[in-house]
Structure 1
Amino acid sequence: MPETIFGQIGAVFMVATCAFALLKGDEPERIGGSVFAIAWFATLLIQGDGDLYSVQWGIFYLDLVMLTVFAGLAWKSHRAWPVWACAFQLLAVMGHIMNMTDMRPPITAFYAVINLAAYGVMACLIVGTFWAWQDRRAAGME
């Protein structure tokens, strides 16, 4: 579980975003919210807290899976938010690749990119869920 107050605020924001997507979204939003929540919990389980400066392969593979899911959603759905979520997720994957190729970015910059990319994905998910919810309300389906 997140140890700092900032981590706890981020966890509450993430859970609220995924719950909103699962409760009010259509199928693409539910898939995106589910994958994001599962990946977040898996990241908490596999991250190496004592080894901050080396490549964390498990988290890299999780980010690749999330990139693949968002790319598939962008390919198959007619919505715009998966394209933006895919772009933010690609930033996270590229941050891992920079770390792997030993380009030596400052580690704080690496973690800032990873965290901001996650918040970008959450913002895309919130906007996409809100649009889907409003479209259903306008159509009289809710």
Structure 2
Amino acid sequence: MLDTLYSQIGAVITVLVVGFAFWKGEEPEKIAAGAYGLGWFASMLVQDDGNLYGIQWSMLAVDVVMLGVLGALVWKSRRGWTVWATAMQLLVVMSHVMTLVDVRPSASSFYFVINLAGYGVLVAIAVGTFWTWQERRAAGLE
């Protein structure tokens, strides 16, 4: 779970972005950050470290649910960052699908794409929250 320095740094970044979204964001940012935080926690709970080369169905399920949440945000809210976050999450799901259809990418490239796309989702949420916060400040609402 949080046994390496890399995972601890990732946890700090995740908590900071989710906290920032809940502090300064509006409803779409809070929904995305809440879903990301729950998905991150759920994926740590269901992750099977002994099955590095097989399909992790529970991880795929968590990632598909997150894709559904972000897809709904794209549909319901008219914000540009939601499209970017959904595109990054789609990369994660497609990485699982590649393994499912037996393309067999190397384990390191598989996890690299999933981790990098996860950070892409976090960056999109953070940028969207920052833009929303600045728009409220410019309108004199904050």
TM-score (norm 1): 0.98
C-alpha distance in structure 2 between counterparts of 1:44 and 1:6, whole Å: 14
CA displacement, residues 95-142 of structure 1 (integer Å, 9 cap, x when unaligned): 000011111111110000000010000000000000000011111111
- Mapping of residues 118-137 of structure 1, within 5 Å: 118-137=118-137
Match in the other structure for 1:80: 80
Secondary structure of the residue that 1:29 maps to in structure 2? Answer: helix
Work out the percentage of aligned pairs sharing the same amino acid: 53
Structure 2 partner of 1:112: 112
Distance (whole Å) between structure 2 residues aligned to residue 64 and residue 138 of structure 1:
36
Amino acid corresponding to residue 16 of structure 1 in structure 2: L
Q: Alignment RMSD, CA only? A: 0.6
* In structure 1, C-alpha distance between the alignment counterparts of 2:118 and 2:33, rounded to whole Å: 12
Partners of 1:50 and 1:71 in 2: CA distance: 31
C-alpha distance in 2 between matches for 1:3 and 1:91: 26
Match of residue 5 from structure 1: 5
Instruction: Measure the CA separation in 2 of the matches of 1:132 and 1:14.
Output: 19
Offset at 1:90? 0.3
1:94 aligns with 2:94: yes
Residue 51 of structure 1 deviates from its aligned partner by 1.1
- Classify the secondary structure of the residue corresponding to 2:99: helix
What code does the residue aligned with 2:54 have? S
Matches within 5 A, 1:33-52: 33-52=33-52
The 1-side partners of 2:138 and 2:102 are apart by: 51
**Which residues of structure 2 form unaligned runs of 5+?**
none
d(CA) in 2 for partners of 1:57 and 1:14? Answer: 23
Deviations 1:68-112 (A, max 9, x none): 111110111111000000000000000000011111111110000
Matched length:
142
